[in-house]
Homo-oligomer: A and B are copies of this chain.
Amino acid sequence: MNERTVFFLSDQTGVTAETLGHSLLTQFDGQQFRQVTLPFIDCDDKALEAVEKINAAARDDGMRPIVFSTLVQDEFRAICRKADSLHLDIFDAFLESLEEELQQKSTHEAGRAHGMSDIESYMKRIEATNFALANDDGGITRNYEVADVILIGVSRSGKTPTCLYLALQYGVYAANFPLTDEEFDGGTLPDFLLTQKQKLVGLTIAPTRLQQIRKERRALGQYSSAQQVRYELREAEKIFKKYGIPQIDTTEFSIEEISSRILNSTGVERRVRP
């Protein structure tokens, strides 16, 4: 059976179309899709080029592609709609209801969703990213007093990517500190963490999963041994319990989910909105 092709059309990056389309397509088990993003469709030529690609896929696949469109400008939408496809258009679906509700015509102008109209929010995300980098892995600075949240956990429990995602997506100031033998030996946390105890969130992970992740980094040796992994996780958990630190199990979650759960469970306010 041929794979069906899915197109994401946008006059911007295509992130909205991809996110929407992906949510819907995951509702269909066992289907394989070839995904193609066509961003920055901002002139007739690019719209016509998109139509050609969609029609070519229809011919090659022997079935019409599915198109998720977030195009805003009517002229390009009209062109793309003519392609041989199931055309799903988020503006068609929702804009009329919104216009009615808000009693206002929409602008139909492109380039607004991720535009730099909001320079302030750009700066906040950059600053939060710099904060995450400077306060990664317990290092360089320890500006924990300005942190929104401080993640603690053993090596490879997901601290660094989560902090960076919290910064880039939400502008949240996230630091992280690794738990190692220094903490395990005494079963205590250092004072500079304890004074910020209300900001601490512990990351946990299933031993087998952690072992798998560590083996990617270093296949042999104690670091990725079952015994070591179990020891570290057990000691980390003792510390979380001792101080009443909330825990999030990252085993089955994506970076997005871990980040969202941290905001949700701590009540930390995002500083920017997507």
- Partner-B contacts on A (CB < 8 A): 4, 12-16, 18-20, 22-29, 31, 35, 39-40, 64, 66, 70, 72, 86, 88, 90-91, 93-95, 97-98, 101-102, 104, 106-109, 112-116, 122-123, 125-127, 129-130, 133, 136, 158, 160-161, 164-165, 168-169, 213, 216, 251-257, 259-261, 264, 273-274
Return A205 CB to nearest CB of chain B, in Å: 11
**List of B residues within 8 angstroms of A252 by Cβ:** 115-116
With A29-B107, A114-B257, A168-B164 already in contact, the answer to whether A20 and B22 are too (CB < 8 A) is no
Question: When chains A and B are docked, how far (Å) is the Cα of A40 from the Cα of B259?
Answer: 12
Tell whether, in the assembled complex, residue B216 and residue A28 are in contact, meaning their CB atoms are under 8 Å apart. no
For A13, A88, A216, A255, the residue with the greatest tally of chain B CB atoms inside 10 Å of its CB is A13
CB closest residue in chain B, given A63 = B101
Question: When chains A and B are docked, how far (Å) is the Cα of A253 from the Cα of B116?
Answer: 5
With A27-B72, A90-B24 already in contact, the answer to whether A161 and B254 are too (CB < 8 A) is no
CB closest residue in chain B, given A90 = B20
**List of B residues within 8 angstroms of A115 by Cβ:** 26, 252, 254, 257
**List of B residues within 8 angstroms of A264 by Cβ:** 39-40
**Pick the contact of A28 from B12, B97, B98 — CB < 8 Å?**
B98
With A253-B116, A273-B18 already in contact, the answer to whether A27 and B109 are too (CB < 8 A) is yes
Tell whether, in the assembled complex, residue B256 and residue A24 are in contact, meaning their CB atoms are under 8 Å apart. no
Tell whether, in the assembled complex, residue B66 and residue A26 are in contact, meaning their CB atoms are under 8 Å apart. no
Q: Give the interface SS of chain A, mostly helix, strand, loop or mixed.
A: helix
CB closest residue in chain B, given A65 = B101
**List of B residues within 8 angstroms of A28 by Cβ:** 98, 102, 104, 106-107
**List of B residues within 8 angstroms of A31 by Cβ:** 102, 104
CB closest residue in chain B, given A21 = B94
Tell whether, in the assembled complex, residue B15 and residue A256 are in contact, meaning their CB atoms are under 8 Å apart. yes
**List of B residues within 8 angstroms of A64 by Cβ:** 101
Tell whether, in the assembled complex, residue A23 and residue B70 are in contact, meaning their CB atoms are under 8 Å apart. yes
**8 CB < 8 A contacts A-B:** A13-B257, A16-B22, A19-B20, A28-B98, A28-B106, A31-B104, A116-B251, A126-B161
Question: When chains A and B are docked, how far (Å) is the Cα of A178 from the Cα of B88?
Answer: 43
Question: When chains A and B are docked, how far (Å) is the Cα of A216 from the Cα of B14?
Answer: 31
CB closest residue in chain B, given A93 = B93
Tell whether, in the assembled complex, residue A122 and residue B13 are in contact, meaning their CB atoms are under 8 Å apart. no
With A27-B106, A107-B29, A164-B129 already in contact, the answer to whether A273 and B35 are too (CB < 8 A) is yes
CB closest residue in chain B, given A14 = B260
With A40-B261, A40-B264, A86-B97 already in contact, the answer to whether A113 and B66 are too (CB < 8 A) is no
